[in-house]
Chain A
Amino acid sequence: MAIEDKVFSGDTLRSGYRFQRHWDNSMAYAFIFAELGAGMYFVSLLMNSLPGMIAGLVLVSTGKPYFHLAHMGVPSRSWRAMLRPDRSWISRGLLGLGGMIGTGFLYVIALAFGDQLGVGADAGVVGLLKLASATFAIVVMCYQGFAMSHSTAISIWNSAIIPMASLLYSLSLGVAGALILLPAAQAGGLADTQLLLLLGLAIMHVMLLHGGWHGSPGARTSVELLLQTEYAKWFWGLVVAAGIVLPGLILWMAPDSRVLAIISGLAMLSGFCSWRILIFKIGVYEPILSMNPFHSAN
């Protein structure tokens, strides 16, 4: 059945595919800030780039909570969200987020003002903070993908590729930030790493589209929405061309140019933001009865 023949019932009383509209653009922005910030912090931590770490922490501690609270129905009760880490990825993520912000800022303070505070960068407690903040950053990079893939409701999300996408985008944006912020001597080798990450992103997209196309009717419908409707131009133009192909070409042909690194980073960011918004928009629930029982009776 072609996409134009499918019934999208929206809020009408017809049976058909229903778009998920519970997680809107506000949630997409929260996801973007978390993955961008955690990726920048993690890569900067590995590269010992203090400005990158600060930028990452600021992104995670401002944009992420702001957009999450804006989306939440009862923001005053948001603290309750950390109560069930045994079963909910939202809880685990919130604890990871709090842990990353707490240990991250302490680590940054220890690095920046360690001499005045009498704590050397090689002190055991500083190493512990570094390890803890890196671990929490990995949780923040991945948990949103797990929160999406955990449930079977929206078929295109119910895939192990979704958390992998979160991790890959986080890391690649972190590397893009490091390529912009770090001096050329310190960033040596990052361009090759970024090319590998971009290749990983391309493979991830192919896997997701292939899996969706050959998956359940809901997953296939989501892929059709992405490739055959108005979303296609955003997917091919921003997610693929600007987010993967253009940065790949830039890094392959001119890995040392700072100006081109900035252009490449901005292009990747536009691709990532588009991807986050699109993956929310193409999520559909399947018709309540996957087969009309009257059809089966005939």
Chain B
Amino acid sequence: MARMGMVFDLKACIGCNACVIACKQENSLPDGVFFTKTLSEEYGVFPMANRVFIPTICNHCEDAPCEKVCPTGATYTREDGIVMVDDDKCIGCSSCSVACPYDQRTQMDAENFLNGLFGKGEITPFEEDGYGRYTPGTVTKCDFCSQRVDVGLDPACVVTCPTNARIFGDLDNEHSAPSKMIRERHGRPPLPEKNTKPKVFYVN
């Protein structure tokens, strides 16, 4: 069985946030809710100062702490390793949010759905159609666009990235693009000391 994962090439990421917008569009995310964010970090001292962009996403950990603490079984792992949230079972207790070392979970408050993407309280037909998949009060996160993966497509953020900074594929297949990149460029998971065995890696 496949073990889907992602690699972020920090040298390629230019911080354009196209992935963030693509994610919001694909998943109809309401105001203030993000499944992926591009963080920035400055380093060095002038005139050698620079900035690195760090894309973040749910790491779909093999030993997912969010799954372990979920009191209802709403969080579960699919056979292909994608960690999912069953909206119908989630009670919005936020124990998964507290347990995630990467702070990658968001509670969908009712207010999130009221503002609209333009923040003026107007809900477009696109939003109206998309919001139906969520229950206000539940906790959500990235699912690697599982609806796209199921039909053989890459996640929206990967397809949109103009610099190929996001590489998605099967980590169990040694010939897949992410496996090769992790091997050749010494990919490193975020916060390995947390022992969550993430399936997202960073290379530079």
Contacts and interface: CB of A to CB of B under 8 A. Distances in A.
B92 A73 contact: yes
Which of A22, A83, A283, A292: most chain B CB closer than 10 A?
A22
B70 A15 contact: no
Interface string A79-91: 0111110011111
A285 B102 contact: yes
Interface residues of B, number: 51
A73 B98 contact: no
Contact of B71 (A91, A283, A287, A293): A91
Interface in A100-123: none
Contacts of B144: none
Nearest to A284: B103
B56 interface: yes
B147 interface: no
Contacts of B101: 151-153, 285-286
A84 B71 contact: yes
A1 interface: no
A175 to B, nearest CB: 30
Contact of B39 (A13, A71, A151, A216): A13
Task: Please report whether the interface of chain A is mostly helix, strand, loop or mixed according to DSSP.
Answer: loop
B98 A81 contact: no
Given A22-B94, A23-B98, A72-B137, A152 B65 contact: yes
Interface size class of A (residues with CB under 8 A): 35 or more
Interface string A190-216: 000000000000000000000000001
Nearest to A93: B71
A14 B69 contact: no
A90 B93 contact: yes
B196 interface: yes
Interface in A253-296: 283, 285-290, 292-295
A250 B133 CA distance: 59
Interface of B: 10, 37-41, 43, 50, 52, 54, 56, 65, 68-73, 89-95, 97-103, 105, 107-109, 135-139, 188, 190-191, 193-196, 202-204
Given A13-B39, A286-B191, 6 more contacts: A22-B98, A87-B70, A151-B69, A153-B194, A289-B191, A292-B41
